[in-house]
Amino acid sequence: MSNKSQQSWNNATWIASRRAIIRQSLKLTIRERLQALEDLCETAQTLSRMKIRHKKSDSHPLSPGKTQKSGKA
């Protein structure tokens, strides 16, 4: 069995995957860590805006799950 396929199986569980991510992040330089943090902050802000937009669209009369009342039968 090759080392590459064994490595992928070693990371198959949640705990092993988490450890692999931690090991990989420890190899990052300070600059790379700060860039990753900045990227994560931007992602969090984007997701927050999406959540706010989604909440606003829930109150819209034609949002999914609500039907438009029509005068026609």
- Look at residues 42, 23, 45, 18 and name the one whose alpha carbon lies nearest to residue 34: 42
Question: What is the separation of C-alpha 35 from the centre of its chain, rounded to a whole number of angstroms?
Answer: 17
* Exposed / middle / buried, residue 11 (Cβ in 10 Å: 0-12, 13-18, 19+): middle
User: Residue 1 has what pLDDT?
Assistant: 46
- The domain locations on the chain are 29-59
Read off the pLDDT of residues 18-49 as tens digits, 9 standing for 90 and up.
Answer: 999 999 999 999 999 999 999 999 999 999 98
**Residue 35 to residue 33: CA distance in whole angstroms:** 5
Give, as one character, the DSSP assignment of residue 65. Answer: T
Residues of the chain above pLDDT 70, percent = 67
Helix (H) or strand (E) holding 68: none
Q: Model confidence at 2, in pLDDT bands (50, 70, 90)?
A: low
